[in-house]
Structure formats: structure tokens, C-alpha cells
């Protein structure tokens, strides 16, 4: 998606329906979500924009895991 900080890749079932979305840079997979849904929240979930999400001295792999966790939580809150 143009202008995005991340690369979103949809996963499709055999009928062509979207069944989930991958964020390639973080290794995150978000089942049941379209790239548009994931992008809407992921692009704003950054340390400089969100006080809940602080990088501190985390190694990159833990940073990515934490990012994916926070994004999943937010997606679930939107759904509920």
C-alpha cells in the first residue's frame, strides 16, 4: 500500500477470500483481518505517537513481538 511504513500481504483461501494479513517487517499475522483494517491501526502505533508503546532498549525481535501484540489487542478492541 502506497505511503505505508509497513508492507501488508493478504492471505487468501482457495476461493479467493481474505483470511488474514501479514506485516512483513514485523512477522505479524492477523487472522480474519484485511490489509486495510490492519494498516488503519498499525500506521499509528509507534513509540513517538503512542505512550503505551515504548521501545526502550528492547532487541528488534522483542520489539516486533511487542508491536504485534499491541496491534492485536487494538484490533480486538475495535472488533468488540
The residue whose grid cell reads 489487542 is: 73
Helices (H) then strands (E): counts for the chain: 2, 3
pLDDT in tens, 10-60: 999 999 999 999 999 999 999 999 999 999 999 888 655 555 555 555 566
Long-range contacts, 17-23 (Cβ 8 Å, 24+): 23/68
**What is the domain partition of the chain in residue ranges?**
8-79
β-sheet with 28-31: strand ranges across: 8-12, 18-23, 28-31
pLDDT value at position 1? 45
pLDDT value at position 8? 97
Confidence of residue 4 (pLDDT cuts 50, 70, 90): confident
Residue, of 51 and 66, whose pLDDT is higher: 66
Phi, psi of 7 (to 5 degrees): -105, 120
* pTM confidence score: 0.77
Amino acid at each position: 500500500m502506497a505511503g505505508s511504513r509497513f508492507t501488508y500481504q493478504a492471505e487468501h483461501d482457495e476461493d479467493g477470500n481474505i483470511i488474514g494479513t501479514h506485516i512483513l517487517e514485523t512477522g505479524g499475522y492477523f487472522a480474519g483481518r484485511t490489509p486495510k483494517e490492519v494498516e488503519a491501526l498499525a500506521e499509528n502505533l509507534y513509540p513517538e505517537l503512542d505512550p503505551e508503546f515504548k521501545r526502550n532498549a528492547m532487541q528488534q525481535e522483542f520489539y516486533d513481538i511487542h508491536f504485534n501484540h499491541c496491534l492485536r489487542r487494538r484490533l480486538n478492541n475495535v472488533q468488540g
